[in-house]
Structure 1
Amino acid sequence: MPNTIVARDLRKRYGDVRAVDGVTLSVEEGEFFGILGPNGAGKTTTLEIIEGLRQADSGEVTVFGRSPWPRDPALLPRIGVQLQASSFFERLTAREQLRTFGSLYGVPDRKADAMLETVGLTEKADTPVEKLSGGQAQRLSIACALVHEPELVFLDEPTAALDPQARRNLWDVLRAINTEGRTIVLTTHYMDEAETLCDRVAIIDRGRILRSGAPATLVRGLDAATRISVAGGVLSEDEARALPGVDDITDDGVSLVIVTRDPSSVVAALAGRGALDGVQIKGATLEDVFLELTGREYRA
């Protein structure tokens, strides 16, 4: 499929800090693409360069075959942007805010109002934006990015302030618009979100892409053990260690966890002992890949 976004060797410095240090990536038409990284990794700066909100020091980027910088009026109706920090017109209600954004693109009020229901804000339609909660303001910001039905949507940590129900609701919304053929690029700190939604991801740190690919492919490429948990008392530690393929054992009295790189042999042995009731099997996840590449130290 044709590429909607092509970025080559993007670089951006702020003094001695290399915020973006040679980023090269492409996003296909209709793809759901995620950019993952720790705080300060360069995700937002990379996104802003692609969106045309910030000029790169060097490198080149095209969106729909056109350069987004300097700002290209021909691109603006084709893209929707939700920023990390949202700013709204003062003293407008949620409905008025969305209608104002829609009017910039010739969207009828009726169609703009329907977007409130899409993001679960119908009951807050007449609430001034300054009285919305953080999560509600986030959902309104996303509605503003989607109101004109753009072909390409940029979302910068769209679910950061949302509760679990609102997150899952938004996932459904994003899946639906992606299924309609729209291309979506998002940054997120939630690995389960990226693993669930994205066709491909790029893991970025210190301004460089460390690895990219389909989440399942990245997980399979990680040499990580499987953890098999059984209820405490089902097996003793000695019995568990005697099973084939066991690398390590931990037992906290509530559950016994078997660490193995040969889970099929362990599960077969447990089945032979009639010890499968309540068994939980946890393989590697995208979070394990992320931590393997970026480290485990906390970054403010």
Structure 2
Amino acid sequence: MRPAIEARGLAKSFGEVSVLAGVDLEVAAGTVFALLGPNGAGKTTTIRILSTLIRADGGEARVAGFDVVRQRAEVRRSITLTGQYAAVDELQTGEENLRMMARLRGLSRPAARRRAAELLDRFDLTDAGGRRVGTYSGGMRRRLDLAAGLVVPPSVIFLDEPTTGLDPRSRQAMWQVITDLVGTGVTVFLTTQYLEEADRLADRISVIDGGTVIADGTADDLKRQVSAQRLDLVMADPAAYSAATGALGGRVAHGDPVKLTLSVATDGSAAHVRAVLDEVDPGRGAVRTFGVHSATLDDVFLTLTGHATEEEPAHV
């Protein structure tokens, strides 16, 4: 089966600032693909190019089998884009928003009413359908926004940080919605700042930094690239922290001088853990506590990019 999304050598600059510098992507049909990266790495710019909102300076891409430049109309008929903020009319009711979108997509009045009712039921919004959207919670607005994009079922859905700002319960509800969509054969292209979200939902993940893809694979593949396990050390004092950091050098995956914590890749064996402890704490007084944990996508992100995801948004 042909990939739902293909991109080769995508490049984009804004003035003198290079945002994408040759991005290659391939997304299988009927899967969830997650694009991870620090804010400003080019995630949103990539989505804007693939959804035909802007043109790349170089490279080529196809979505749902159509070229994003030469066949823009066909691409747009095949996709739905949900941005970082819900784009619904707060002065209308939920049902009115959906009926309006259905009419704009060419459905008759009776068909628009039926489709609105179906979507309200599917997204657990039936009881709120007659209320003005301005009274909705953030999670309800996000679900309504996604429902509006499904008035005519698309082949590909682009979700740009769909759960940003949602509480844990609303985020869990959105995860279930995404899982259900993929079960119907839809392809989901997801960007997110929540690494747990990518770990749970994505069949495949690419990490982008500095405008290029620096890693690609399943969540387990990426974790194995870093290490299957990590050794977390809590040092006794600043002097012990400084000495351990110097001894371990480039092997430190993450360090926090305020909390006096260090993380080191390990194979999880007793022999390797003992060797690291002997190296940084030969006198048995420098390490206050330690623990061995399975690697997470946070470890992957920190190791590959050198920084965490909690940075000020750059919207690129």
**Which residue does 2:260 correspond to in 1?**
none
Stretch deviating more after TM superposition (30-39 or 139-148): 139-148
**Which residue does 1:38 correspond to in 2?**
38
Tell me by how many angstroms 1:264 deviates: 5.5
In the superposition, relative to structure 1, how do residues 224 and 217 fare at CA in structure 2: closer, same or farther (>3 Å)?
closer
In the superposition, relative to structure 1, how do residues 262 and 222 fare at CA in structure 2: closer, same or farther (>3 Å)?
closer
**Which residue does 1:163 correspond to in 2?**
167
1:7 and 2:7 correspond:
yes
1:286 and 2:291 correspond:
no
Cα distance in 2, alignment partners of residues 260 and 89 from structure 1: 49
Cα distance in 2, alignment partners of residues 259 and 2 from structure 1: 41
**Matching residue within 202, 205, 210 for 2:209:** 205
Does the 8 A contact of 2:227 with 2:267 survive in 1? no
% identity of equivalent residues? 38
Cα distance in 2, alignment partners of residues 228 and 19 from structure 1: 35
Q: Counterpart of 1:210 in 2: which secondary structure?
A: strand
**Which residue does 1:255 correspond to in 2?**
none
Stretch deviating more after TM superposition (44-53 or 77-86): 77-86
Does the 8 A contact of 1:138 with 1:161 survive in 2? no
**Which residue does 1:299 correspond to in 2?**
311
1:263 and 2:268 correspond:
yes
Tell me by how many angstroms 1:98 deviates: 1.3
The within-5 A match list for 1:98-177 is: 98-105=98-105, 106=107, 108-177=112-181
Tell me by how many angstroms 1:97 deviates: 0.4
Tell me by how many angstroms 1:127 deviates: 2.3
Does the 8 A contact of 1:41 with 1:204 survive in 2? yes
Cα distance in 2, alignment partners of residues 126 and 188 from structure 1: 31
Cα distance in 2, alignment partners of residues 221 and 259 from structure 1: 14
Give CA-to-partner distance per residue, 1:123-168, whole Å, 9 cap, x none. 3212223333333222221111223221111111111122212211
**Which residue does 1:47 correspond to in 2?**
47
Q: Counterpart of 1:20 in 2: which secondary structure?
A: strand
Tell me by how many angstroms 1:87 deviates: 2.9
Cα distance in 2, alignment partners of residues 165 and 148 from structure 1: 28
Q: Counterpart of 2:72 in 1: which secondary structure?
A: coil
Cα distance in 2, alignment partners of residues 225 and 282 from structure 1: 6
Tell me by how many angstroms 1:117 deviates: 3.0
Give structure 2 stretches of 5+ with no counterpart. Answer: 234-262, 272-290
1:18 and 2:18 correspond:
yes
Tell me by how many angstroms 1:227 deviates: 4.8
What is the root-mean-square deviation in Å for CA atoms of aligned residues?
Answer: 2.8
Q: TM-score when scaled to structure 1?
A: 0.78
Tell me by how many angstroms 1:262 deviates: 4.7
Cα distance in 1, alignment partners of residues 172 and 58 from structure 2: 38
In the superposition, relative to structure 1, how do residues 42 and 228 fare at CA in structure 2: closer, same or farther (>3 Å)?
closer
Stretch deviating more after TM superposition (90-99 or 13-22): 90-99
Does the 8 A contact of 1:119 with 1:170 survive in 2? no
Tell me by how many angstroms 1:212 deviates: 0.9
Cα distance in 2, alignment partners of residues 262 and 25 from structure 1: 31
**Which residue does 1:238 correspond to in 2?**
none
Cα distance in 1, alignment partners of residues 127 and 203 from structure 2: 34
Does the 8 A contact of 1:52 with 1:68 survive in 2? yes
Q: TM-score when scaled to structure 2?
A: 0.75
In the superposition, relative to structure 1, how do residues 205 and 226 fare at CA in structure 2: closer, same or farther (>3 Å)?
closer
Cα distance in 2, alignment partners of residues 292 and 259 from structure 1: 10
Give CA-to-partner distance per residue, 1:255-295, whole Å, 9 cap, x none. xxx988353658xxxxxxxxxxxxx9630011110111112
In the superposition, relative to structure 1, how do residues 228 and 165 fare at CA in structure 2: closer, same or farther (>3 Å)?
same
Give structure 1 stretches of 5+ with no counterpart. Answer: 230-257, 267-279
Q: Counterpart of 2:67 in 1: which secondary structure?
A: coil
Does the 8 A contact of 2:226 with 2:265 survive in 1? no
Cα distance in 2, alignment partners of residues 169 and 90 from structure 1: 21
Report the AA paired with residue 177 of structure 1: L
Stretch deviating more after TM superposition (57-66 or 100-109): 100-109
The within-5 A match list for 1:178-193 is: 178-193=182-197
